[in-house]
Amino acid sequence: MSTAVRGKWRAKKWYTVLAPEAFNSIPIGTIPADEGWKLLGRVIETTLFDLTGDFTKHYIHLYFQVYSYDETNLVVYTRFKGHELSRDYVKSIIRRKSSKIAGIIDVTTSDGYVLRVTGLVLTAYNCNASHKRAIRKIIFQTLSEWAQKNTFNEFVKAVVLGNLAVELMARAKKIYPVRKAEVYKSKLLAIPTPEGLKPAVIVARKPSS
């Protein structure tokens, strides 16, 4: 390592990364930077296992994005950006001679956040086209209703902790025998501001002096 490179590394500070408020703002790691603003927009990937210590949740991948920082205390704050179930897990729950029904919908929470969410229902047996349409409609209705009735933080917890999947399964069972239901994926699209909705895009910009 050259002297110049060593000098740059010595100039870096280690910032503590805090999880979003929905996850109790717990520290989830540290990240180096010479100035906090350069970390704005950085996406941090973790798992629900890392946050809770529950190994059965290792397949739930969470994505948090840095939106603010505290230069004095060397802390960066993150916002929930989305989640996704691991491909290996999804493959493990799919069975032959059964149907997989997925529905993707954009929903708005009671406090104005917009997310794109994917619901997944796996039936016990192969079902016909009319059953698939009815279950997909249930997916859309359930995801939309839960978003409308809950704040962003409440909805995120329902998605990640499985409460929404339980409700989805209970409703889909009224249409056809269901073996498994999951909220497979989510992504934050827009956030409310005093000026109206803005895309959930964070760009690292040096603060004006």
% pLDDT > 70, the chain? 94
Q: Where are the domains of the chain?
A: 3-85, 92-193
To which residue do tokens 């803005």 refer? Answer: 198
Answer whether residue 1 shows pLDDT above 70: no
HSE of 185 in the Cβ direction (CA atoms, 13 Å)? 13
Write out the CATH class of domain 92-193.
alpha beta
Which pTM does this prediction carry? 0.91
Residue 134's pLDDT band (cuts 50, 70, 90): very high
Assigned token pair, 184:
């497979």
Average pLDDT rounded to a whole number, residues 95-108 = 95
Q: What is the pLDDT of residues 139-183, one digit of tens each?
A: 999 999 999 999 999 999 999 999 999 999 999 999 999 999 999
Residue 5's pLDDT band (cuts 50, 70, 90): very low
Please say whether the dihedral angle defined by the alpha carbons of residues 125, 130, 131 and 137, taken in this order, is positive or negative: positive
Using DSSP, state whether 5 is helix, strand or coil. helix
| DSSP per residue, 88-157 | HHHHHH--TTS-EEEEEEEEE-TTS-EEEEEEEEEESS---HHHHHHHHHHHHHHHHHHHHHS-HHHHHH
Q: What is residue 204's predicted lDDT score, i.e. its pLDDT?
A: 85
3-state percent helix, strand, coil for the chain, nearest multiple of 5: 35, 40, 30
- With 0-12 / 13-18 / 19 or more C-beta atoms within 10 angstroms meaning exposed / middle / buried, residue 83 is buried
